[in-house]
Amino acid sequence: MNRNLWIGSVLVGLVVLAALVSFVWTPHDPLKVDAAVRLAGPSADYWFGTDKFGRDVASQIMVGARTTLYVGVIAVGVAAVIGTPLGILAAMSKRWLGELVMRVNDLVLAFPALLLAIMLGAVYGASTVTAMIAIGIATIPSFARVARSATLQVMSTEYVLAARAGGRSRLSIARRHVLRNIAGLVIVQCSVSFAIAVLAEAALSFLGFGTRPPTPSWGRMLQESQELLTVEPRLALVPGIAIAVAVLGFNLLGDGLRDRFDPRLQDRTKSTRGTSSARRTDRVRMSREIQERR
Amino acid sequence: MISVEALTIFTREQGLVRNVSFEVGEGERVGLIGESGSGKSLTAAAIMGLLPEELRATGSIRFHGKQLIGASERELSQLRGRDMAMVFQEPMTALNPLMRVGRQVAESIKLHTRKSRREANGLAADLLESVGLPGTGGRYPHQLSGGQRQRVLLALALANDPSLLICDEPTTALDVTVQAQVLDLILAGVAERSTALLFITHDLAVVARVCDRLLVMYEGSIVEEGPTRDMLTNPRHDYTRKLLAASDLEAA
Amino acid sequence: MTLILRRTAIFLVSVVVASIVVFAFMAVLPGDPAQVALGVNATPELLAKTRHDFGLDRPLVSQYFSWLGGVLHGDFGRSYVTGEAIGPQLIDRLGVTLWLVGAGMLVALILAIPFGTLAATWHRRVSGAAISGLSQLGVAIPAFLAGILLVQVFAVQLRWLPSGGWTPPNQDVGEFLRGLVLPAVSLGIVQGAVLTRYVRSAVLDTLGQDYLRTARSKGLRPYPALLRHGLRNAAVPVVTVLGLQLTTLLIGAVVVERVFVLPGLGSMLLDSVSSRDLLAVQGIVLVLVVAVLLVNFLVDVAYVLIDPRLRSAERVSR
């Protein structure tokens, strides 16, 4: 288990743990307003202190973790479920169809998550749901691209060429070979996209286009902390660190999984022999990324 | 002209080349044979001063009397390309893909002489012509075949009339039909300039053709050496005999 | 050359399709702009007249074309809410956002190129690993958080720089620059971290390449070899990523404008949405989307120009 995987899992685990525990127990009611304890500092009772309304920050962070994870799971889920088949399809169809799908893909990429969320918010009123859907739609292209380039590679392996020569239908090839082989890369993309989704949700909540009050959300906690920054920087630092932990965790997890799944890193053939493992890793990573991009 | 004594190359964990000593005289053509992992490429790299970071070399390498081990990067880079040059095994990746080949050859000339850009380009064009690639200076590497690229690399190496040319398996990655061509060019090139040749390979047939003297390397040491003819007809060391048996050479 | 023409064609088609998507989206919105403009108590006749004035009683297709036609002339119509021409304000605001994005990209490059290269050349040492780790951290921080923290330190505590506001460059260059520093740095630090990782990867990959070994064997010293031969090669994957990063920067700018109260396109967008000024939203979204498409197009072209291997035959597999 490499180091990235380790640290990433621990960080993500922390966030998930906080969210799960929050269903059963939080130190205080995160929504409870108590003017008497406004802006209290950290103590045994209020681990991270309280905010300007007297709400317990720690509890807000824990429940906020839920929001973060909800949005991430739904957004990434939607994107993976729609994007992956699209990418596979694009790789397996005739040249012009595949090209067309990728062009449409590029077009969707031109509508960044924030923009979509703002547009959706304009129509339906901003909420967690609009944020989820917007981020989800904006993430579809990444999955489509990864799925497509991975499928193209699988399709050109001798194994698959033999199967096609033997007369196997494309659908059965997809089922048997493609899905199994690209699963790893799709999982990696899930992790990376999750990190991006967390950042996007935070930004949206910060702008007021995400989770509506009073549901706790890390991004909104940051926005609320702005006016009191001079007096209580803690109110900005705590949610800020929470966001950073989540994003870092998912990124490292993704990197770790990537190294784990890439068969080329196990490869000891001539082209990489003699290079140090660090260089080999990076060389493979770079060519991966370029391939995904194009 | 170049004398290697007690050359030892090692990493922190193990020794890769042990106590290797040999000499190459002016204009001589010496072959260094052995299988992969025998340390022959490392020996060549040590002479050029291009060992990978994690490796250390001790011993002595005297080139025209000058000690190369421990020499500064500045001194070494002045020698490289001018007095000693190298052609590597893999022609497909040895040239900068974004630069025209003529310019890459000319660069070698401009590095070590005071020639103007135009003169250098002219000389480069002549060099390319001499290796059978007239008028290709304006092409990019990806527009040339493997054999053609290797010829460019040869032209590049010989550009400044070095006194030592090291070739590390220069034809191994090429098609059989092209191999002979490149070998001929190497021989012609060194003959014309009276350049000494250190030719590294695992192929006995090639070495028989190109070299006067042979050094056999096995697991980091030289196990046998002598004139090519003698070695091939009368191998003494076990390993040499195995190599001979495994190749397709008929008795000369 | 045909490759460039193809890309241009694709770009233009994408722009048209994007405009249709944006228009359709806005047209589908529930709500009546006339109602929004006139308020709840408007009479049906007045509503009808206003709708006619706004051109809303014409068929959608004709509305689309007249809107598009106007846009191509720089006329984005008149706001349903304020009645003012949207175009001039949009251009002004766009200018601010562009300054911000440009400065942000500059900061990012200034950070990423040296740090990324060092991280690559020192990749065996602790210092290289430290740079790498720092960049991972930088990626995890949202730009607006960086902004908030920077304001806290430099504007409030140290009072070196203003905490917000905008001075146009032609009015007072000094104040303009001072006001630009913190927002640009907030954007730039985060983007710089992302780019550092890419630069590191690209340079590391280049360092291992055979043609660098050839360059050294010619007699080039390590750094000159890297500069002359490695740079352009390393630039290829970095340029690829640059386009993607510009998109992210654009969006990051929207958020950072909020933190620093900058009169940019982002804040105009948010304001228009809250005031239901749909025509303005339509125009702004179109501009943003076209900007993204344009950047990606330019990156594609740059890619072809840098790498001669792309010019000859068509790539077989993508």
DSSP string, B152-179: HHHHHHHTT--SEEEEESTTTTS-HHHH
- Sheet containing B29-33: give its strands across: B84-87, B164-168, B196-201, B29-33, B213-218, B221-227
| Among the partner residues C210, C215, C216, nearest to B93 by beta-carbon distance | C210
CA separation for the pair C259, C238 (Å, rounded): 29
CA distance B94 to chain C (A): 4
* pLDDT surpassing 50 at residue A267: no
Evaluate whether A105 touches A144 at the Cβ level (below 8 Å). Answer: yes
User: Sign of the C-alpha dihedral, residues B62, B67, B71, B74?
Assistant: negative
Enter the tokens of residue B67. Answer: 């000690």
User: Sign of the C-alpha dihedral, residues A228, A233, A235, A241?
Assistant: positive
pLDDT digits (tens, 9 = 90+) for B214-245: 888 888 888 888 888 888 788 888 888 887 77
Q: Which residues of C touch B78 (CB under 8 A)?
A: 219
Interface touch C140/A122, C-beta < 8 Å: no
| Among the partner residues B73, B79, B95, nearest to C214 by beta-carbon distance | B95
What average pLDDT does chain B have? 87
Evaluate whether A289 touches A281 at the Cβ level (below 8 Å). Answer: no
pLDDT tens over chain C, length 318 residues: 777 888 898 899 999 999 888 888 877 776 676 766 676 777 778 777 777 777 777 777 888 888 888 888 878 877 777 777 888 888 888 888 989 999 999 999 999 999 998 888 888 788 888 898 888 888 888 888 888 888 888 887 777 777 777 878 777 888 888 888 889 999 999 999 989 988 888 888 888 888 999 999 998 988 888 888 888 888 888 887 887 788 788 888 888 888 888 888 888 888 888 887 878 888 888 998 898 888 888 888 887 787 777 765 443 333
- Cα dist. B103→B106, B125, B204, C169 in Å? 5, 9, 35, 45
Interface touch C208/A122, C-beta < 8 Å: no
Interface predicted TM-score (ipTM) of this complex, two decimals = 0.86
Taking alpha carbons only, the member of C303, C229, C120 closest to residue B95 is C229
Low-confidence ranges of chain B (pLDDT < 70): 248-252
Assess whether the previous peptide bond of C88 is cis (omega < 30° from 0). Answer: no
| Among the partner residues A123, A229, A243, nearest to C142 by beta-carbon distance | A243
Enter the tokens of residue A284. Answer: 């493979």
Confidence of residue A294 (pLDDT cuts 50, 70, 90): very low
| Among the partner residues B73, B82, B94, nearest to C211 by beta-carbon distance | B94
* pLDDT surpassing 60 at residue A290: no
Taking alpha carbons only, the member of B7, B34, B16, B27 closest to residue B225 is B34
Helix (H) or strand (E) holding C244: helix C231-260
CA separation for the pair C25, A129 (Å, rounded): 18
Q: Which residue of A has its CA nearest to C7?
A: A103
**In terms of pTM, does the model score above 0.90?**
no
Number of H helices, E strands in chain A: 12, 0
Q: Which residues of C touch B53 (CB under 8 A)?
A: 124
Catalogue all structural domains in chain B, each as residue range(s) with its CATH number. 2-90+164-245 (3.40.50.300)
Predicted local distance difference test score (pLDDT) of residue A69: 94
**Residues sharing a CB contact under 8 Å with residue A144, sequence separation 6 or more, in sequence order:** A83, A84, A86, A87, A90, A101, A102, A105
CA separation for the pair B220, A154 (Å, rounded): 41
User: Sign of the C-alpha dihedral, residues A104, A207, A221, C157?
Assistant: positive
Enter the tokens of residue A211. Answer: 């989770």
Touching B: C residues 109-168, CB under 8 Å: 124
Predicted local distance difference test score (pLDDT) of residue A285: 52
Residue-by-residue DSSP string for C85-129? BHHHHHHHHHHHHHHHHHHHHHHHHHHHHHHHHHHHHTTTSHHHH
| Among the partner residues C217, C222, C232, nearest to B81 by beta-carbon distance | C217
C-alpha dihedral (C57, C59, C61, C62), degrees to nearest 10? -60
Q: Which of the residues C148, C182, C249, C290 would you substitute to probe the A interface, choosing the one with the greatest number of A C-beta atoms within 10 Å? A: C148
CA separation for the pair C57, B83 (Å, rounded): 85
Touching C: A residues 190-219, CB under 8 Å: 195, 199, 202-203, 206-208
Touching C: A residues 2-61, CB under 8 Å: none
Which chains reach chain C with 3 or more Cβ–Cβ distances below 8 angstroms?
A: A, B
CA distance C192 to chain B (A): 27
CA separation for the pair A149, A294 (Å, rounded): 9
CA separation for the pair B122, B109 (Å, rounded): 10
